[in-house]
Chain A
Amino acid sequence: MRRQSPFRESTIGRSIFRSTERETTRDRAAGHWASFLLHVYPVKVRRRELGFRYSWYLGVISAVLLISLVVSGVYLMFFYVPSPASAYGDIQSLHTDVAFGQFIRNTHRWAAHLMVIAVAAHAARVFYRGAYKPPREFNWVVGVVLLLLTLLLSFTGYLLPWDQLAYWAVTVGTSMADFVPIFGDVIRETLLGGTQVGSETLLRFYVLHVAVLPLLAFGVLMIHLWRWRKDSMLDIANDEEFVDE
């Protein structure tokens, strides 16, 4: 019989890993259940969910991009001050003075664009599979919220380099709020912190981009994954005729 590592069988090891035997399927399920990192996942899935055709792995891709964005974003935060006086210069010195600065900024930029595409494609794939059908209706709605949060995260980040591209893209984007009846001006001025894009806007977008929206996105993502795990053991419809192919 294969022995477990001595550490796992020690008092400390047992306190961390709980289930030390990983020999039978039952042991392994218990070990899976006791693991903090693995508890995001169900213990078992149906074989058809493993393949590329099922999901095109777009949900995983979106999640991996999100994590990479948090890592690269934290690195960028060390070298960036959100004020019109310093923001642009900070990006310039990021390119010239900071170790891997340009590279990390590149990864942050491209991963952000890719994430918008991945999340939208994930929604489309879920639609074509009919995976929003009972009992998964609510998780689809949670997914729509995540799509919106992704767009908002990308849009608020767009302003931060404080170059002509950022400034005018955000000016155009927020000008759409003007057309909302009655509350148009209020919404726009709340977003911008003034009548046009300025230092208040930069600060607001920065706080939204690095604190409010990421926390919201992670919170909603946890609900999304929790719901996915709960629903994963249920059939979309138990009736044989509703199962495709």
Chain B
Amino acid sequence: MSEHEPAVHEGRRVLGVVPGTPPVGERKVPEDQDLVMVWPHLLVRHAVVAIATLLAVLVVSLLFDAPLRDLANPFETPNPEKAPWYFAALQELLSHFHPLVAGVLVPTAVIVGMAALPYLDRSLYTSPRFRKVAVWTFTLFLTIWFVLTIIGFAFRGPNWSWVWPWQEWHGEL
């Protein structure tokens, strides 16, 4: 080490060494609110997550082939006629309500409601304990949407009649 290069210890230049314990006490235990460098702490984790995600896609792609049915034929309507799974909840709603409600009002309300959420819910609490109304409302919406999606995707057969997925399978990805 040349005399022009300062000694470096734990990422800090050492100007001098004083014997004894530090005047501010022992080195403190890392806490949640402490700031840590993104490189390497966060980036290493993100790299692992990225590799795991790509591995999952790789495995699924090796196990299952993407579907390819017959050539599109405008004169041969399949029964049931299904929208992609993420619209299955809307399609299920369409079978129960007037199209203006299920096809226009509900999707518009969901989009506008989601976008407006932070401006409607003005409480500053982040813990679910202090946000019971918001958490319950959102959970209720999420549950209904999830159930409708599952029903529309897997429990509907010809003419949108109820079928049991273990007897007749009509879900398509």
Binding site for B on A (CB under 8 A): 1, 23-25, 28-29, 32, 38, 41-50, 57, 60-61, 64-65, 68, 84, 88, 91-92, 95, 102-103, 105-111, 113-114, 116, 123-124, 127-134, 136-137, 140-141, 144, 147-148, 151, 154-155, 158, 161-169, 171-173, 176, 178-181, 196-198, 236-237, 239, 242-245
Contacts and interface: CB of A to CB of B under 8 A. Distances in A.
Contact of B36 (A45, A91, A179): A45
Nearest to A111: B57
A150 B67 CA distance: 21
Given A158-B84, A164-B73, A176-B103, 13 more contacts: A1-B1, A47-B31, A68-B57, A116-B86, A130-B126, A130-B127, A133-B123, A148-B111, A167-B72, A176-B87, A176-B99, A179-B99, A244-B125
Contact of B118 (A124, A140, A172): A140
A203 B68 CA distance: 20
29 contacts: A24-B11, A41-B39, A41-B43, A44-B35, A45-B35, A45-B38, A46-B33, A46-B35, A68-B53, A92-B68, A110-B66, A116-B86, A124-B138, A133-B124, A133-B126, A140-B118, A144-B111, A155-B84, A161-B68, A163-B69, A168-B82, A171-B81, A172-B82, A172-B83, A178-B99, A236-B124, A236-B126, A243-B126, A244-B125
